Each structure stands twice: as C-alpha cells, then as structure tokens.
Structure 1
Amino acid sequence: MKRTVAAPEFAHYPEAWHLSPVLDTGDFVFLSGQTGWRPDDTVASDPEEQFRDVFEFLKANLAAAGLSFADVVEMTSYHIELKKHLPAFVKVKDEYVSAPYPAWSAIGVSEFISDGTLVEVRVIARR
C-alpha cells in the first residue's frame, strides 16, 4: 500500500512538483523535506520564525495522515549556515518534539531551490 497525503495548503504539490508531501505506506509514513516557504510564496527573514513555519507545516502534514510529532521516529534536517542557526533551530524544534526523541541528523548544505530558505526537514513516522 502506498498513498499520497497532503495538508490542504500542500495539496498542489503532487501535481506541481511530482512528489508526495506525505507518503503513507501503512506502518511507516514518510514526509518529504519541508521548508519554511509559505503557500503565498514568501519566506520569513527571521530564522526563528522560518523554523517555526517549518514545524507548523510538518505538523499540518502529519495531521493530514492522522499522526503527530509523537509518531516521528526519524528526522533529518538540512541547514544553510548550520552552526550559526542551530541554537534557534533547536529552540523551535523543542517546542514541537519531545521525549522520547526521534533519531535526528543535522546536515550543513550550500543551497536550496528557494531563495532565503535556511532549513529543510524531512521525517519518518510510524503508526
């Protein structure tokens, strides 16, 4: 079983980007990398606000699959200027993710497709 799921604000992604915002495979649910790029094509210039947008978008897509951050088993985050923004990212992450914590890898990268984007986060959740 494989089923594409998306929160309403991301419903156009499968057609526009040829990807599943959420791919539900039954036991495991995979969320494509989520950035702070908003549905109105803007991105917050304040890092903390942008990181909060990322987690709100992840939360919306998890909810569309009937899940929450409590179901997340793995998280990978990709960062522009990782060391500079990591304290703000961790602060926001900790508002959404609690113990028992998922496995997490943070990786520094040089660029994203969207200008102004500082982070992209993908998660795997388990039912």
Structure 2
Amino acid sequence: MKKILFRKASQLAKQAIIPKNMTSLYQDWKMAPGSEVDGFVFLTGFNGTGLDGVTSSEAATQINTAFDQVFSVLDEGAMDARHVIEVTSYHIGLRAHLETFKTIWTERMCEPYPAWTAIEVAGFASEGVVVELRVVAHR
C-alpha cells in the first residue's frame, strides 16, 4: 500500500532567493525574485526592462535582458539552465520575433530542454516591453 503524506501549509518551508542587485524588488515591491518551496523555485516574471529601468527597442536585447535576470536568480540559488523545468514566455508581436527568441533560447537553455509555452499578450505594465518570462525550476 502506498502512503501519501500531507503537510499543512504552515509546515512548508518557503525561502526567498534575492540576488543583491534585486534587493529593491523585494523591499519596494514586496515580492521575491525567486521563491523556493520543497525544491521547486518559482521566479517572478522578468521582462525586457533592465534593473536600471532601461528598455531597449530591440527585441533581441529585451529577450537577453529577461534571460539575464532569470539566470541571476538561478545563480543566486546555486542553479542554472539544467534546473529549469518550465518556461512560459509572454510576447507582444510574437510572430515578429519568434525566430529571434528561438535562437536565443537555443543559446541559453540546455538539454534536457524544459517545457515551453509562448503566449501573445496585449500589453505589459512597462511601456515598450515585448517579452516577459515566467520560469519554474527544481533543485
């Protein structure tokens, strides 16, 4: 007979993962760049705007900026692309930069590749942003 263990929510140990350059996200926005529970790491959505507030008009630069921020959080948690299990990418003008995204994806991710869903959206909170990444990793 298989045993199924249940834990109360209060027994789950949740830990914030906060790179030094993202301390203001935690303090000002009251959100963790990464939140780990039971080995799963859920990252805040990172978009094409850099931490300096600058948004490039180039889709490739924005995509790399979003990935840079994702990998900064993973690095802080002693993880890398091998730990990524699922990515949802949100895009404005998806068809216009899908090939660029796929090229950068190939450069930044590794086998075994994570699950990936790409979704076209109407807009983001920040003006000029064309991409945002939602990432789940596992230690």
TM-score bracket, normalised by the shorter chain, equals over 0.9
Query: Partner of 2:131 in structure 1?
Result: 119
Alignment TM-score, normalising by the size of structure 2:
0.87
Structure whose alpha-carbon radius of gyration is higher: 2
Query: Partner of 1:47 in structure 2?
Result: 59
Contact 1:24 1:65 in 2 (8 A): no
Query: Partner of 1:78 in structure 2?
Result: 90
Deviations 1:54-79 (A, max 9, x none): 11111111011111111000010100
Deviations 1:5-30 (A, max 9, x none): 12222111122222111001131111
The number of residue pairs the alignment matches comes to 127
Identity %: 34
The root-mean-square deviation of aligned C-alpha atoms, in Å, is 1.0
- Which of 15, 27, 45 pairs up with 1:3? 15
1:85-96 superposed matches below 5 A? 85-96=97-108
Q: Which structure ranks higher in relative contact order (CA pairs < 8 Å, sequence separation ≥ 6)?
A: 1
Alignment TM-score, normalising by the size of structure 1:
0.95
Q: In the alignment, residue 107 of structure 1 is paired with which amino acid?
A: I
SS at match of 2:45: strand
Q: 1:64 aligned to 2:76? A: yes
- Give the gaps of 5 or more residues in structure 1: none
Query: Partner of 2:8 in structure 1?
Result: none
Q: Distance in 1 between matches of 2:130 and 2:51?
A: 17
Q: Distance in 2 between matches of 1:28 and 1:75?
A: 13
Moved over 2 A (4+): none
- Give the gaps of 5 or more residues in structure 2: 1-12
